């Protein structure tokens, strides 16, 4: 009697053997077809800000390199200028409204927690950046304004102070005396120069080595403004905006023109589409010009106002663009310096 396998057993054994022999090839093909795991490259730490902020970007970068949270670092950075009485664009010593009262605006966003906080028309508190951060951390709101913002700050132990310095008060007095020849104020002598209507703001955007992002914008707003006027600085999405997966952007200049295009948000969205930070800023500027009413542009279609956008993406690439030639402050994790902005128009004489 021969010990021969029947046909079914033979085929089953042959199939098993074929499967075993083919296994390495199956694994090889599977490996070739498996989706690649995309790992984000390490971020290059960076802090970018307006030209009046070399000290703030330096301090902010130092802190994030030590492991400080990006928003906490940004607040410590802008506080340098908010507490400086010689800086009349923000905080203590900021130029007042038409009634001679300093009203401060600030907003901030924290990328990791996707939260925002802001204050508008805040009186008597030197550091609105700290108050905006408290709104972010401890309330279910985003924006507090006026008397409510002041009382909120006082409840956290802030001291109410007169924010006018002798210098900022004198500038306001000169402006008031020269508003018009038919009012009840005596004209300042010709030898004493008329104070122009300045604007000033600090926007600061920062990315940490781990890729976390925050942004903050603080200002005393347009000098001699109507009491109660709030510009773009207090508005998340306009004065600044952060998406922790993409980047951050913010602005300085004519706040009303920025509000009309939601410039902080629009710039971050341009980076989401793949634009580099500088190109994203330029695109937003073009949109702001296109949205400008006739009274705000000259006969050649150029704006009669200034506006600058600053941006940084998650990789730490940064850039800025302005209507006319300008510069901005940046710290790239190694040193702080001023850099020329990209711009849309040459200045006319």
Catalytic residues: 201
CA distance 247 to 265: 10
Single out the residue of 317, 315, 296, 314 nearest to residue 305, CA to CA.
296
Task: Work out whether strand 342-343 and strand 318-322 pair parallel, antiparallel, or are unpaired.
Answer: parallel
Strand partners, 202: 218
User: What is the three-class DSSP state of 339?
Assistant: strand
Q: What's the Rg (C-alpha) of the chain?
A: 28
User: Containing H/E element for 281?
Assistant: helix 277-290
CA distance 93 to 171: 11
CA distance 55 to 334: 14
| Strand ranges across the sheet with 327-331 | 143-145, 115-122, 104-110, 213-219, 201-207, 46-50, 327-331, 336-340
- Tell me how far the alpha carbon of residue 4 is from its chain's centroid: 82
> Which 8-state DSSP code applies to residue 185?
S
């Amino acid at each position: 009697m021969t010990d021969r396998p029947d046909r079914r057993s033979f085929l089953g054994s042959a199939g098993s053997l074929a499967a075993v022999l083919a296994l390495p090839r199956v694994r090889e093909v599977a490996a070739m077809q498996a989706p690649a795991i995309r790992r984000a490259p390490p971020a290059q730490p960076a802090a970018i800000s307006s030209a009046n902020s070399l000290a703030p970007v330096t301090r902010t970068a130092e802190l994030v390199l030590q492991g400080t949270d990006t928003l906490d670092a940004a607040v410590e950075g802008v506080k340098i200028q908010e507490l400086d009485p010689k800086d009349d664009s923000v905080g203590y010593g900021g130029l007042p409204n038409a009634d001679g009262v300093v009203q401060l605006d600030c907003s901030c966003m924290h990328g990791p927690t996707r939260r925002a906080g802001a204050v508008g028309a805040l009186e008597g508190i030197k550091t609105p950046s700290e108050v905006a951060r408290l709104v972010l951390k401890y309330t279910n709101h985003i924006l507090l304004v006026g008397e409510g913002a002041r009382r909120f700050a006082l409840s956290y132990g802030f001291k109410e102070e007169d924010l006018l310095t002798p210098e900022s008060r004198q500038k306001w007095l000169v402006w008031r005396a020269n508003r018009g020849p038919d009012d009840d104020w005596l004209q300042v002598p010709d030898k004493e120069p008329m104070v122009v209507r300045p604007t000033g703001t600090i926007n600061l955007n920062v990315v940490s080595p781990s890729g976390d992002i925050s942004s903050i914008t603080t200002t005393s707003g347009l000098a001699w403004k109507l009491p109660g006027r709030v510009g773009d600085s207090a508005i998340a999405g306009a004065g600044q905006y952060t998406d922790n997966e993409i980047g951050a952007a913010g602005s300085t200049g004519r706040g009303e023109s920025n509000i009309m295009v939601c410039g902080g948000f629009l710039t971050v969205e341009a980076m989401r589409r793949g634009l580099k930070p500088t190109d994203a800023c330029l695109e937003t500027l073009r949109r702001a010009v296109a949205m400008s009413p006739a009274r705000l542009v000259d006969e050649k279609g150029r704006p009669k106002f200034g506006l600058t956008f600053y941006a940084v993406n998650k990789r730490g690439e940064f850039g800025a663009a302005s209507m006319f030639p300008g510069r901005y402050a940046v710290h790239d994790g190694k040193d702080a310096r001023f850099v020329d902005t990209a711009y849309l128009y040459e200045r006319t004489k």
